[in-house]
């Protein structure tokens, strides 16, 4: 008796559960494999493995849990033959496909495919001819997946440019219109969800609530998401970001990070996002100008240097705080944030009355949260503010001194030299990686052409893949080093423009309200490290803002200051 296992796979969940007469569906694959196994003398189907909604092109074998289970059971000799519906069900990656077959063959597992031949076909990897054929099968499957991706993307973009909904998950606030005609809209407003969308926009835009507070209010009112989960900051922002809420479907709003494979959102106005050319009125839950205003407010979050309008209500915690240095302070002992707070001591007077005072404090967040920190728990608000302002005033009043300019200029020039050196090192590494990649690729091509080699096909393929990864990393490092070097090229000259503006800056600062003071400080400082001994100022002079020079960048340095006596 030959023990047989079957590996079934479809790329989407829809294919897994669709029972149409289509070769891409999971039920059809299962039926075909079972018929094939029953037609073979002495074969007995002992196990079926089903991958539902798993792409064998975008996912490697290590990322496919079911395939890893197949390989684990193969090592344990739990079956003798692995049957596939079609050969590309195993993998759609050119190098990986023959390597998986070779790995199974070494474990004593024979691999058969049902639909690639009228009577089935065994996928052999014994002779050199077999290996070359398997490699080209993998290449063909990978190329087909790539071309399919290009065609689907082009079709979706074309549909989006014409204002047609491209499908996918139905957005919150809408529901699918079953039985609609071809000339009718496929979606309609959900009578329960659409009012929730209007409430979110009203609370966020008109009342100035943040997305966290909007989520909290929804949950307190007993409202839940479509899946029954409570609302969160992220789920509220997904609704607010979607232009579909204003009647304009979009395509390309998300993309997959090539390194982390996480799906990320593009910002409103990104050129990759395709918006319907006109508003579809039956789909407009909120007006378009309201949606645009919400996007401006969301984009300005924690960007105080940008102009704000009536919808850009201050919602950054550091800006809303009554403490001058909120958002800038860092604990020198643990590296955690230091936030603003108050102490309210009471004093009993001689006449028996009780008076209460309110003192500003800066407190290490880690200590208030019970996390380890060996530093001081809190600092007097006036003491910290006076020390920092004295440092700022001193830096600005002495900024015209030649020795200060020379000191900073030398640091900038030294930084430029270091970046130039890093570019050269990165370029050499990239050249070496490219040479190694070409060498291993050449050896693999020679092997596949029938030439003798000291190395096995698997070893050569692994070296090609490894060297390709090293080349990509080296190229990325070189590009990053060149970009940094280019941005630092003329900072020493631009620094003089800032020096000329220093007295004007201090005059503006002294005459400004609290919110404006906070924004001005952020043009000078990246952070302030606070310890028992004093403060360490991490200057990051924003030359764009202070000198009015577009693309000027910034200049960084740090200095330490002891505590000054509070007034």
Q: What's the Cα-to-Cα distance from 445 to each of 98, 279, 436, 461, rounded to whole Å?
A: 15, 55, 14, 10
Q: What torsion do the CA atoms of 172, 157, 299, 487 make, to the nearest 10 degrees?
A: 150
* Residue 498: closest CA among 556, 551, 537, 544: 544
pLDDT at 41: 92
Distance separating alpha carbons of residues 64 and 67, to the nearest angstrom = 5
pLDDT at 306: 42
Partners of 48 in the β-ladder: 6
- CATH architecture of the domain with residue range 2-156: 3-Layer(aba) Sandwich (3.40)
Distance separating alpha carbons of residues 222 and 489, to the nearest angstrom = 57
Distance separating alpha carbons of residues 226 and 218, to the nearest angstrom = 13
Structure tokens at 315: 């919602």
pLDDT at 278: 82
- Which pTM does this prediction carry? 0.40
Mean pLDDT by 10 residues, the chain (567 residues): 92 54 73 92 94 78 88 94 91 86 92 87 87 82 73 66 67 85 80 94 87 86 89 88 86 62 62 74 92 83 45 51 84 88 74 74 78 86 91 74 52 60 78 84 78 76 81 79 59 55 71 79 87 90 46 66 77
Q: Kindly report the number of other CB atoms within 10 A of residue 321's CB atom.
A: 16
Distance separating alpha carbons of residues 297 and 212, to the nearest angstrom = 14
Distance separating alpha carbons of residues 553 and 567, to the nearest angstrom = 36
- Whether residue 278 contacts residue 315, with contact meaning beta carbons closer than 8 Å, is answered with no
Q: Give phi and psi for 313, each to the nearest 5.
A: -65, 140
Q: Is the dihedral of CA 380, 381, 384, 389 positive or negative?
A: negative
Helix (H, G, I), strand (E, B) or coil at 382: helix
Helix (H, G, I), strand (E, B) or coil at 93: coil
What are the extents of the domains in the chain?
2-156, 174-299, 416-489
Helix then strand then coil, in percent of the chain rounded to 5, is 45, 15, 35
pLDDT at 302: 47
Residue 1: partners with Cβ closer than 8 Å, 6 or more residues away: 42, 44
CATH of domain 174-299: 3.90.1750.20
- Whether residue 84 contacts residue 112, with contact meaning beta carbons closer than 8 Å, is answered with yes
Q: Kindly report the number of other CB atoms within 10 A of residue 412's CB atom.
A: 20
Strand positions, DSSP E, 344-421: 346-348, 354-356, 359-364, 378-380
DSSP state of 550: T
- Residue where the block lists tokens 């302030």: 528
The DSSP element (H or E) to which 98 belongs, if any, is: helix 96-106
Q: How many CA atoms, within 13 angstroms, populate the side-chain half-sphere of residue 200? A: 33
The DSSP element (H or E) to which 204 belongs, if any, is: none
- Whether residue 385 contacts residue 325, with contact meaning beta carbons closer than 8 Å, is answered with yes
């Amino acid at each position: 008796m030959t023990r047989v296992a079957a590996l079934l796979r479809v790329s989407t969940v829809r294919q897994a559960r669709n029972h149409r007469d289509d070769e891409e569906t999971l039920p059809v694959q299962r039926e075909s494999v079972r018929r094939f196994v029953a037609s073979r003398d002495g074969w007995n189907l002992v196990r079926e493995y089903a991958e539902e909604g798993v792409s064998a092109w975008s996912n490697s074998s290590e990322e496919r849990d079911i395939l890893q289970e197949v390989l684990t059971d193969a090592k344990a000799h739990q079956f003798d033959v692995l049957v596939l519906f079609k050969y590309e069900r195993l993998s759609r990656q050119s190098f990986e496909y023959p390597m998986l077959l070779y790995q199974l063959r070494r474990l004593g597992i024979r691999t058969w495919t049902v639909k690639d031949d009228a009577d089935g076909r065994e996928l052999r990897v014994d002779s050199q001819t077999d290996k070359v054929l398997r490699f080209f099968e993998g290449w063909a499957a990978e190329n087909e997946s790539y071309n399919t991706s290009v065609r689907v993307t082009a079709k979706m973009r074309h549909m989006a440019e014409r204002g047609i909904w491209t499908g996918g998950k139905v957005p919150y606030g809408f529901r699918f219109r079953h039985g609609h005609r071809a000339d009718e809209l496929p979606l309609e407003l959900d009578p329960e969800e659409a009012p929730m969308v209007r409430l979110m926009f009203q609370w966020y835009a008109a009342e100035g609530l943040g997305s966290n507070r909007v989520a909290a209010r929804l949950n307190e009112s007993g409202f839940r998401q479509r899946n029954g989960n409570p609302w969160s900051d992220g789920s509220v922002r997904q609704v607010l970001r979607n232009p579909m809420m204003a009647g304009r479907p979009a395509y390309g709003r998300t993309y997959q990070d090539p390194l982390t494979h996480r799906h990320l959102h593009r910002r409103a106005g990104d050129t990759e996002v395709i918006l319907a050319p006109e508003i579809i009125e039956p789909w407009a839950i909120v007006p378009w100008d309201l949606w645009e205003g919400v996007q401006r407010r969301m984009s300005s979050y924690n960007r105080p240097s940008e102009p704000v309008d009536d919808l850009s209500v201050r919602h950054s915690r550091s800006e809303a705080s009554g403490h001058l240095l909120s958002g800038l302070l860092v604990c020198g002992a643990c590296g955690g944030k230091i936030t603003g707070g108050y102490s309210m001591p009471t004093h009993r007077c001689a006449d028996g009355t009780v008076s209460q005072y309110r003192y500003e404090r800066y407190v290490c967040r880690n200590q208030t949260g019970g996390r380890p920190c060996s530093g001081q728990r809190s600092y007097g608000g006036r003491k910290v503010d006076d020390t920092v302002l004295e440092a700022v005033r001193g830096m600005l009043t002495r900024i015209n001194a030649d020795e200060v300019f020379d000191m900073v200029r030398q640091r900038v020039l030294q930084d430029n030299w270091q970046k130039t050196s890093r570019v050269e090192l990165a370029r050499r590494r990239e050249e070496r990686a490219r040479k190694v990649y070409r060498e291993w690729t050449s050896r693999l091509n020679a092997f596949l052409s029938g030439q003798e080699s000291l190395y096995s096909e698997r070893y050569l393929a692994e070296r090609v893949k490894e060297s390709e990864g090293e080349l990509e990393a080296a190229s990325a490092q070189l590009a990053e080093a060149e970009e940094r070097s280019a941005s630092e090229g003329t900072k020493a000259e631009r620094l003089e423009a800032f020096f000329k503006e220093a007295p004007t800056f201090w005059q503006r600062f002294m005459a400004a309200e609290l919110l404006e003071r906070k924004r001005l400080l952020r043009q000078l400082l990246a952070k302030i490290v606070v310890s028992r001994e004093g403060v360490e100022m991490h200057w990051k002079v924003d030359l764009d803002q202070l000198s009015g020079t577009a693309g000027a960048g910034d200049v960084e340095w740090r200095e330490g200051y002891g505590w000054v006596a509070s007034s």
